Amino acid sequence: MKRRLLLVHIVALLAVILSSCSAKPERAESTVFAMDTLMYLEVYGDEAQATVAQAVERLYFLDGLLSAVNEDSEVSKINKSAGGFVDVPDEILEQLNAAQEVSRRSGGAFDISVLPLVTLWGFGTENAHVPSDEEIEAARRYVDYRNIELSGSSVKLAEGMSITLGAIAKGYASQTLAELFEGRGISSALVSLGGNVQVVGSKPDGSKWRIALQDPVNAGETAGVLELSDMAAVTSGGYERYFEQEGKIYHHILDPKTGRPSESGLLSVTIVCENGMTADALSTALFLLGEDGAIEYWRNYGGFEALLITDDGRMLVTEGLRGSFTQSGDAYTLEYVYGNGGA
Ligand code: ADP
Ligand code: MG
């Protein structure tokens, strides 16, 4: 933890030095640790510095509001009030509505009420371990998005339930920042919140932003590059947050049906779409659904593009990404996926 903080400080210091050397257009960047994630922002244009400062403030604000761990957050308030209605701010309401839609469309694979399971497994704590079958069954009884009741600006969880916005909040945050930048007339910016990247406009030189896709098997390697403008690219995988017990890896995306880390045959899912919040929820949902379910979801609902990496070495890319995706190396066999009307 100390080393991470030191790194954050060094990067922040570098950021200040770099930005003070820049000529036109004004450029500012910042590295922040919030939402349990190292975050990076880069903004170009008039008032870039002031815009970044406002964005950082916004991130800390959202962190305070959305944390499932912080006892004082609005999400904790919802959890503590389970059994009764509680008023929620717009920032949360928007995520609840989006989450519920993805839950319905994914047949409950995506489910923000997995918190009892997340807590039981101890992800992100010193106490991460494989629970007993009985414990898993007991926690699973409280996991069901259909028992989250939304009415106007209030929400009610059934008795015993609790939610986490972990699978959608960073995407909501990147979307919020993109809107903040646009509102301030910024036409070139990038935010990278862990696996969540969102870009506004193109690079200052007019070329598209280049977003590297991590290789889920070979840590530190790049599996490909996406060239995008005005877009979010969000990746979910089992390789970033996990613990190891008796030589087996247990990652943090849980299948509500089994109460265990999902074993869908996918190593990572990247979603490309205009809205960062939607992209975040979908990356987790499609990761859980597996290859066939993910492709079916894309064909049925659309509105986004996807890139799936399978555990048997294939890279499945939906047809809309032809032209914006370039594979790096040959670790995976590239296959394009077509819509219902396609090949
Ligand atoms: P990351 O946070 O690494 O970007 P995701 O966006 O895929 O990854 O979100 C994973 C987080 O979402 C987990 O840490 C957990 O808090 C929560 N989560 C786990 N399983 C589910 C699920 N089935 N549906 C919704 N949220 C989940
Ligand atoms: Mg997600």
Please name the residue whose Cα sits nearest to atom 5 of ligand 1.
Answer: 167
Which letter, b or e, does each residue of 107-123 get, where b requires 16 or more Cβ atoms within 10 Å of its Cβ? Answer: ebbbbbbbbbbbbbbeb
What's the chain's length in residues?
343
Please name the residue whose Cα sits nearest to atom 10 of ligand 1.
Answer: 167
Under 8 Å between Cβ of 296 and 265: no
Q: What is the pLDDT of residue 10?
A: 58
Of all ligands present, the nearest one to the C-alpha of 239 is 1
Please name the residue whose Cα sits nearest to atom 15 of ligand 1.
Answer: 166
Measured between alpha carbons, how far is 337 from 343 in angstroms, rounded to an integer? 9
Under 8 Å between Cβ of 113 and 163: yes
Q: What is the pLDDT of residue 23?
A: 55
Find out whether the beta carbon of 171 lies less than 6 Å from any atom of ligand 1: no
Q: How far is the CA of 49 from the centre of ligand 1 (A)?
A: 32
Q: How far is the CA of 289 from the centre of ligand 1 (A)?
A: 13
Find out whether the beta carbon of 163 lies less than 6 Å from any atom of ligand 1: no
Q: How far is the CA of 266 from the centre of ligand 1 (A)?
A: 15
Of all ligands present, the nearest one to the C-alpha of 252 is 1
Q: How far is the CA of 294 from the centre of ligand 1 (A)?
A: 16
Q: How far is the CA of 179 from the centre of ligand 1 (A)?
A: 24
Q: How far is the CA of 282 from the centre of ligand 2 (A)?
A: 7
Residue 19 to residues 185, 190, 196, 331, Cα–Cα distance (Å): 19, 15, 23, 37
DSSP for 286-305, written as a single string: HHHHHHHHHHHHHHHH-SSE
Find out whether the beta carbon of 262 lies less than 6 Å from any atom of ligand 1: no
Q: Quick one: angle between helices 48-66 and 169-183, nearest 10? A: 150
Q: Which residues crowd ion ligand 2, with CB under 5 Å?
A: 167, 236, 280, 283-284
- How far does CA 168 lie from the centroid of its chain? 6
Q: How far is the CA of 280 from the centre of ligand 1 (A)?
A: 9
Distance between first and last Cα of the chain: 50
pTM of the model: 0.92
Among left, alpha and beta (phi > 0; psi -120 to 50; other), residue 290 is: left
Q: What is the pLDDT of residue 15?
A: 57
Find out whether the beta carbon of 165 lies less than 6 Å from any atom of ligand 1: no
Find out whether the beta carbon of 182 lies less than 6 Å from any atom of ligand 1: no
Find out whether the beta carbon of 161 lies less than 6 Å from any atom of ligand 1: no
Q: What is the pLDDT of residue 16?
A: 52
Q: What is the pLDDT of residue 1?
A: 44
pLDDT 10s per residue in the chain (343 long)?
Answer: 445 555 556 555 555 555 555 457 899 999 999 999 999 999 999 999 999 999 999 999 999 999 988 899 999 999 999 999 999 999 999 999 999 999 999 999 999 999 999 999 999 888 999 999 999 999 999 999 999 999 999 999 999 999 999 999 999 999 999 999 999 999 999 999 988 999 999 999 999 999 999 999 998 899 999 999 999 999 999 888 889 998 999 999 999 999 999 999 999 999 999 999 999 999 999 999 999 999 999 999 999 999 999 999 999 999 999 999 999 999 999 999 999 765 4
Nearest atom within ligand 1 for CA of residue 37? 2
